[in-house]
Amino acid sequence: MNNSHDVARLSRRSFLAASGGVAAAALLAACSSGGGSAKPIKFWNMPWGGIDFAPTDKQITLAYKPSGELPPATYQSVQWANFTTTFASAVASNTGPAVSSGSGTQAFQFAKQHHIAYADDLLDSWKKNGLYDDFLPGVLDAMKTPAGYVAVPYNLDMRVLWYRKALLEKAGVTPPKDWQSYLDACEALKKIGTYGFGIASGAQGNGFQILVGLLINNGGGLFDKEQKPNCVTQENLDALDFVVEMVRKGYMDPGSVGYSTTNAYSQWKADKFAMGFESPGLAQQVGGAAGPDIYVGDPLVSGNGKKGALYFPNNIMMYTNTPSQKGSEAFLTYYYKNMAPLWTKNTGIGLPVLKSIAATKEFQADPNAAKMISVWQPICKTWAAPGGDALFSNVTLVDSTPAMTTFAQSVLSLKATPKEALTTLQNTLVSQMK
């Protein structure tokens, strides 16, 4: 695996409705194909992995040979920089793709704007060819709305427990299994000069994701069954009390409040972070002598006796602006049947959504990746927790937004009590709901 955490973080940014982007729209319009039914299916994909990802992905796409009168496919890699404006401008001007990936919540925003072609017919056809049953448990549920499936799951990102094996051995402790043994391990690690609660909560960090993951771990989360914010619950208060205890006891690096993910990688590499919740690509991102010493731990049993974690089912969506809806569906059927090399050739795309890819010897060769699929994925939940797994447009309010960074920093800096921080977040989310 060679997944970029910065890419993963960007992939879950809330998709902002269009503002500006006229130049981008003009450029995309100039690059569009000619008119009539001969127009190709335009597939836009994000650079999900390392340097080998886009070339491999393009090769798979251009090898598509449609049957009958169905159109062929073209390929365009869309960079993460300003991607929200790129998509919003192109979709608004009808110069966008017929099929694309994007942010994890993008499809829900565009569905609300009536630009998404729902995937129900496609998924029904996959029930006949075996693809439907190949998806990991629960990932399709995240795409289902009352109007239908807004997208198809594509790759997974999640926040799992990692630990430095050599540092735990030096401290004389074993990998924790529950919140109490986590605290005990942190205390032992503190005595050897390292931190057990590695986290980065600056503007370019993911600290808010870690905190939400711990809320979910305790049976909590941010939204109720009506998909409305419900932040101030006992489960959430207890989870943040656990976090505050770690901060007060010195188990967290004080600089973490302002750290970026790059800062955090440096701390892992410098033997200063011995445990923490991070993305699937942590060991590869840290690299060096420390990388091979970083292992995925087991899901923790919370103080409430629960297991759970936060994950992000990134997806591929179809648009109403297509030269052929049947063509869009035929291309996606081909793509999903042939996309395994993105994982078996180690392009760094992240974790697969198909059981058949996860079962390949190439994927299983990475024990950390294999453990994330077999042990962590079944207990993971989306931003919609605890009310459900299905995403919806208002989750964009908590997906890498300033409100979430403020929430995490207020807790980790001890400038607000758990109840104060959750109440402020609740009021902010309610005021921003549309």
pLDDT digits (tens, 9 = 90+) for 369-423: 999 999 999 999 999 999 999 999 899 899 889 999 999 999 999 999 999 999 9
Q: How confident is the model at residue 16, as a pLDDT?
A: 41
Residue 32 one-letter amino acid: S
Helix/strand/coil for 227: coil
* Residue 159 or residue 20, greater confidence: 159
Which homologous superfamily does the CATH classification assign to the domain defined by 5-156+313-374? Answer: Periplasmic binding protein-like II (3.40.190.10)
The mean per-residue pLDDT over the stretch 48-72 comes to: 96
Q: CA 385, 87, 357, 147: dihedral to nearest 10 degrees?
A: 50
Q: How confident is the model at residue 36, as a pLDDT?
A: 38
Residue 180 one-letter amino acid: Q
Q: Which residues of 265-299 are buried (b: 16+ CB within 10 A; e: fewer)?
A: bebbbebbbbbbbbbbbbbbbbeeebeebbbbbeb
> Residue 274: pLDDT above 60?
yes
The mean per-residue pLDDT over the stretch 332-347 comes to: 97
The mean per-residue pLDDT over the stretch 94-106 comes to: 95
Q: How confident is the model at residue 400, as a pLDDT?
A: 84
Any idea which fold 158-310+383-387+394-432 has? D-Maltodextrin-Binding Protein; domain 2 (3.40.190)
> Residue 18: pLDDT above 70?
no
Q: How confident is the model at residue 20, as a pLDDT?
A: 37
User: Are 71 and 324 contacting, i.e. CB atoms less than 8 angstroms apart?
Assistant: yes
> Residue 2: pLDDT above 60?
no
> Residue 122: pLDDT above 60?
yes
5-156+313-374 and 158-310+383-387+394-432, same CATH topology: yes
- Residue 271 has φ and ψ, to the nearest 5°, of 65, 20
* Residue 40 or residue 400, greater confidence: 40
Q: Which tokens in the block code for residue 23?
A: 């130049």
> Residue 32: pLDDT above 60?
no
User: Are 25 and 85 contacting, i.e. CB atoms less than 8 angstroms apart?
Assistant: no
The mean per-residue pLDDT over the stretch 69-83 comes to: 95
- Residue 23 has φ and ψ, to the nearest 5°, of -65, -40
User: Are 21 and 33 contacting, i.e. CB atoms less than 8 angstroms apart?
Assistant: no
The mean per-residue pLDDT over the stretch 102-107 comes to: 92
- Adjacent-strand bridge partners of 295: 163
pLDDT-based confidence at residue 288 (cuts at 50, 70, 90): very high
The mean per-residue pLDDT over the stretch 304-313 comes to: 97
CA distance linking residue 76 with residue 112, whole number of Å: 25
The mean per-residue pLDDT over the stretch 293-318 comes to: 97
Percent of the chain at pLDDT exceeding 90: 88
Q: How confident is the model at residue 399, as a pLDDT?
A: 87
- Adjacent-strand bridge partners of 44: 76, 100
Q: How confident is the model at residue 187, as a pLDDT?
A: 98
> Residue 28: pLDDT above 80?
no
* Adjacency order of strands within the sheet including 275-278: 275-278, 160-164, 294-296
Q: Residue 428: which residues within 8 A CB-CB, separation 6 or more?
A: 403
Q: What value does the CA radius of gyration of the chain take, rounded to a whole number of Å?
A: 22
Q: How confident is the model at residue 22, as a pLDDT?
A: 36
Q: How confident is the model at residue 5, as a pLDDT?
A: 38
> Residue 6: pLDDT above 80?
no
Domain extent listing, the chain: 5-156+313-374, 158-310+383-387+394-432
Mean pLDDT, the chain, rounded, equals 92
At which residue do the structure tokens 């009536």 appear? 114
Residue 243's CB: how many other CB atoms inside 10 A? 22
